[in-house]
Structure formats: structure tokens, C-alpha cells
Chains A and B, each alone.
Chain A
Amino acid sequence: MAAEAISRALRDGALEGEHAPALTIKDSIHAPLGAFVFDHILAQLSSNISSSKSQAQLRIVDCYTDPLGWKSQLAESGIVSNRSTQNATTASLCKNARDLDMLFSSIVELGKEVIRETKGRFAVAIDSVSEILRHASISSAASLLSNLRSHDQVACLFWLFHSDLHEMKASSALEYISSMVACVEPISNTTNGKGMNSENLPLIEQNLGRGKFSVRFKRRNGRIRLMSEELHTEQMGINFVPAFEDYVTSQSLVPKVQFSLQLSEKERNDRAKVVLPFEHQGDGKPIQIYDGRRSVSESKTENKETNAEKMHVNEDSGRGEIIYIRDSDDEMPDSDEDPDDDLDI
């Protein structure tokens, strides 16, 4: 399952000589379930950490309460009371969300504090990068994430991102930095893709509680692995279920015409059994050359073809077979060379 694979990858942390695994959780206003996925991943990671070592400790860099320092300024000038800027002891208050260098230092400092006794590594969760991009450019945000990813004490990191709030280049930049991209999409596509008209309402409501969850894993060797499933919101969190058959989806992509464009199961199996006619991949039988003087018994079983290469399908055994008879010895055996290679255009 995709969600479990993500949790495993984050829990396992950085491979030797590699940067920390990084996950982007991406959603949009039409599938606003990214926050649920974020909470789920955070809970899974905490429970994974707790089960292997001592209790997982959570430290918060609070960029929500006073991101621009307004409340602090007002408290200092005596206009408001100071109590609104006091936080729980586990939170470090950020008063300038525009300064990402300071933010990086705060994160690393808190992280080191957490792992001081265990001498391990710490994980970083950011809710959300869309908020960071309200106060900083994409290049400085990307730089922050890259620096965290390459820090030798960061085990893994993940962040939430609302793709429709930003331009494509921001989305692409974040995906390049990530080793995993989890995308939440609407389970039902509304007509015109927008608008709360009466036809769309049941679909929009459905999208508030269910979504498609697709994950792209970037392997070390550069290969990509794709997984997808569905997610449903429940009373106490979310639940991941296997996607409704991808086969059904692919069926729906075939144009609806009167002829059959798909293969049946039997046809698929028969095709798989056909031995290819290339001579160098042959089945050990001697190569035959057509000399125009074939026996009567052979000619009865042949199709009437006008070109020199004759193909014959043996229908006796029910196994597909192609018999290739070369015209003459002058004809070179099939090879992998391109016959047009000697063209000088």
C-alpha cells in the first residue's frame, strides 16, 4: 500500500551516502484532504519512532501565532497584554517568517535539542510550504528544504503544499527536491472542473470526504515507482483502500465504437504463446528456403500470399505459430542492424 510504503521510507531514513528522504504532500481546493494525510503521516512516524526507541518527542517551531512580529510589537508598546505571545514550552516562537535562514537555524537547534541524549537523527515536518511561500520566494524556500535534506542529522522530512495556490514552477521545484510525491486528487471530476452549480454539488461534497491518492517514488538509480489507492476520511482520521480497478479506468479510455478494439483473455494468452519468426531467435529447426517447388501437402496448408515472404499459422495445436521461409540464400538472415544505415542522405 502506498501510504505504508511512504511511512516505511521515512522511518528508514537516509541511505548511506544519500540525502534524507523528502516527501511532498500535494493537494488542491477540489481535493482538500492534504492536511489529513499530513496528520496521518506524522502520527505514523511518531509511533514508528516510539516503538523502536524511547518516546518520540515533538518540538514545534510556531510560525502561526506571530509570523510577522505584530503581536510582539504591540505587546512591547503596551497596547495589548503579553499573554497572547506566550506558548507551551515545547514551542519556539518564530516572529519573522520572511527570514528563512533564521528559520533553518531554529529548526536545527530544536532538532539537536531533541536528539541530544539519543545521539540519533531528527525528522522535520512542515505545515505548510504554501505558508512559507506567502512570505518568501520559491528559491529561498527550495534552498531551506535542500539544506534540511542534506543536513547530516536530519533523518527525513515531509511537507504539505497546495498546488493551486502557486505557479507551476514552484510545484516543479518542490517535486525535484522530493524523493516521494504524494498527490491527493478529486475522486469525482466535476463538470467544467469548477463552479458550485447544482450538478456538481454531490460530487464536490463527495470530494470533501474521499480522494485519489497517488504516490511517485524516486529510486536511487533514477527509476520511478508509481502507486495509487483511495483515501477516505473517517471520524478519527483517514483510511487508505486499494484503488477501484485500474483495469476499469483503462477500459474507459478505449473509444466506444462498434468494433472490438480490445483483446479477450484467450486472445491475450494465444498472443503470448506465439514464437517470433526471427531466424537467430529460432527454435532449432533447420532454416528453409523457398525454391518454388514445394510439395502438394505443404501448399494445401499455406495461405495464398503474393509477396515472397509467406507467413503460415498452424491451427492444429491451437498454439500460435509463425513459419518463416527465406526466399533465397542471398537474403541475409534477420539481424538487429538497421538496413537503412548505409543510406547517405
Chain B
Amino acid sequence: MMSSNSANNLLDEALGFNDDGGGGGGGLLLLIEDRVETSGAFILHHLIKRRLSSPNRPNDVVVFLSFAHPFSHYDRILRKMGCNLGVQKENKRFVYYDMLNLNYPDGEKGAEDLLLSVYGKIQKTVELCSSREGYKNSTIMIDDISLMEVALCGSSNLVLDFLHYCYSLATQFDCLVIILNHEDVYSTMDVPSPLLQMEYLANIVIKAEPLATGLATDVHGQLTVLNKGICQGSGCSKGKIRNFHFRVKENCVEYFYPGSRT
């Protein structure tokens, strides 16, 4: 049984993260899919802390687009985990975009222009960061995609366009893009869902689901991490799947293989 306070837990291992909190860069997109019964927000919080807390990466930046909660919400949660988002924000290491209170224009054209300007700010931030000495990786996070779609008048096309551009930025500047989406929002669609497009785009898919046996006090759900493997000059690594259980506690999350808890 490993907690998220130790150097590397089951989730980090499944993601291929190094002990120093790095790895997972080099142009990757990580998709977190959750459900009403099992929120995947804790994964986002864990990854924010990992990307900001590594001592060997003082210039890495996390760009965070929030459609779901105000800054104070994340600040409170990360404080309990031992990470001060307020300080990181002042140091320009945590760049927070409040997408909740933006003035969204009517019509798709207006929405596209707005997205273009948001993308422009992200690209500028990442470019600036990458020019600094000691730069390793940046992270772009979106919480969450289904609310982004709502904000853009239901245009999943615009959302996919935006994700495509973030991904191309990621491959150019060695970033990690992390997005959270709700699987059950798309489950009743007859036509191919945008979620499937994102699953194709993603290099790593994390699914947070309830246990097959239903709710339990000691185990809050299961995570399935599908890592498609990376193709580089030296060859391709094989795709892998890991499955383990989790329990969300006050200040951390425990990950363990089924049946291994004492």
C-alpha cells in the first residue's frame, strides 16, 4: 500500500513518472475520465503537486484552465497536501486562468475568437518558460472538458480544435497536457462521441470507476491506467494497462492492488 506522499506510488509508476516528479513530458496528452460515483479530481490535484514540488525542476510551469471551480477551491485542497498555490501563483509557476467568469460571446465565431485569444496566452507563457535556463517541461491542465463544451455553446468541435492546438504546442515545447472529462456525460450518445476522439488523441488514459461490487467504506473506487507507449527513434514501447484500487483520505490518496490492504 502506498500513499501519494511517498516518492513514487502506483499511479506515478503506471504513468511512467520519475522519482523527481518529472517524466511524462515530451509531448504527451493524459486524459482522465471519471464518473459521478467516482470523481477523478484527486488525480488532478496529485499531478499539480507533483509538477510543482519537484526540486530539480524550478522553472517548470503549470498552466491551469478552470471551468469548474474558483482558485480558492484548489488553493485549499493543495494546502492540505502541503503545496502553497498562492505562492506558486505569485512566482508565476502556477498560471491560473479563471474561465468561469469570462464573458462568452454568442455564436460559434465569437467563441472561436475567444478560444484563439486564450490559446495565444498559453502559447506565449509556454514559449517564455521554455526560453529560461533549466527548463524541462510545462504542464497544461483543463478542468474540465465537459464544462468547457458548455461554455462554448455545446461546440465539441471547438473543444477538439483547442485540444489539437494544445497538443501541437506540447509536442513542440515538450509539454504535458492533462484534461479531465466525465465519461457518463457521453454515454447515451448515438453518434460517435467527442470523448472517443480524445481517447484517440491521448497517450495515457486514466479511468476512475466504482468497484464492480458497488460502494465500500475502505475502497472508494478503481483506477485503470492505459499507457499506449511511446514511439521514439530507438523504437516503440509496448502499450500497458494497470489496474488498482484507491481510497481518498483527508490529505492524501492511497493506491493499492486489490486484496493487498491489511
Contacts and interface: CB of A to CB of B under 8 A. Distances in A.
A165 B199 CA distance: 11
Interface stretch (A79-87, A143-151, A309-317): A79-87
Given A167-B192, A201-B224, A68 B161 contact: yes
Interface stretch (A69-77, A111-119, A213-221, A241-249): A69-77
B123 to A, nearest CB: 5
A54 B120 CA distance: 44
Interface stretch (A18-26, A204-212, A286-294): A204-212
A112 B119 CA distance: 36
B165 A70 contact: yes
A64 B169 CA distance: 11
Interface residues of B, number: 34
A273 interface: no
B116 interface: yes
Given A80-B123, A84-B172, A165 B196 contact: yes
A198 B172 contact: no
B92 interface: no
Interface string A102-145: 00000000000000000000000000001000100000000000
Interface in A219-239: 233, 235-237
A343 B251 CA distance: 88
Contact of B116 (A73, A167, A198, A208): A73
B163 to A, nearest CB: 11
A167 B241 CA distance: 29
Contact of B191 (A70, A81, A167, A209): A167
B235 interface: yes
A40 to B, nearest CB: 12
Interface in B214-256: 224, 226, 228-229, 235-236, 238-241, 243
Given A32-B228, A164-B196, A201-B224, A80 B120 contact: yes
A164 B119 CA distance: 29
B41 interface: no
A32 B203 CA distance: 12
A67 B168 CA distance: 11
B177 to A, nearest CB: 15
A: contact size bracket: 20 to 34
Contacts of A197: 212
Contact of A198 (B161, B212, B226): B212
B123 A165 contact: no
B164 interface: yes
B199 A29 contact: yes
Contact of B235 (A29, A166, A205, A236): A236
B161 A235 contact: no
A205 B205 CA distance: 13
B192 A80 contact: no
B160 interface: yes
B220 to A, nearest CB: 17
Nearest to A69: B116
A162 B212 CA distance: 30
Interface string B120-138: 1001100100000000000
Contacts of A71: 123, 165
User: Which 9 A/B pairs are nearest by Cβ-Cβ distance?
Assistant: A208-B239, A235-B235, A74-B120, A196-B224, A79-B120, A205-B241, A236-B235, A80-B123, A165-B192
Given A67-B161, A80-B120, A208-B238, 10 more contacts: A71-B165, A74-B116, A81-B127, A165-B196, A167-B192, A196-B207, A196-B209, A205-B239, A209-B239, A236-B235
Interface of A: 29, 32, 64-68, 70-71, 73-74, 79-81, 84, 130, 134, 162, 164-167, 196-198, 201, 204-205, 208-209, 233, 235-237
22 contacts: A29-B196, A32-B228, A64-B168, A67-B164, A68-B165, A73-B116, A74-B116, A79-B123, A79-B124, A80-B124, A80-B127, A81-B127, A165-B196, A165-B197, A198-B243, A201-B224, A204-B241, A205-B241, A208-B229, A208-B241, A209-B239, A235-B235
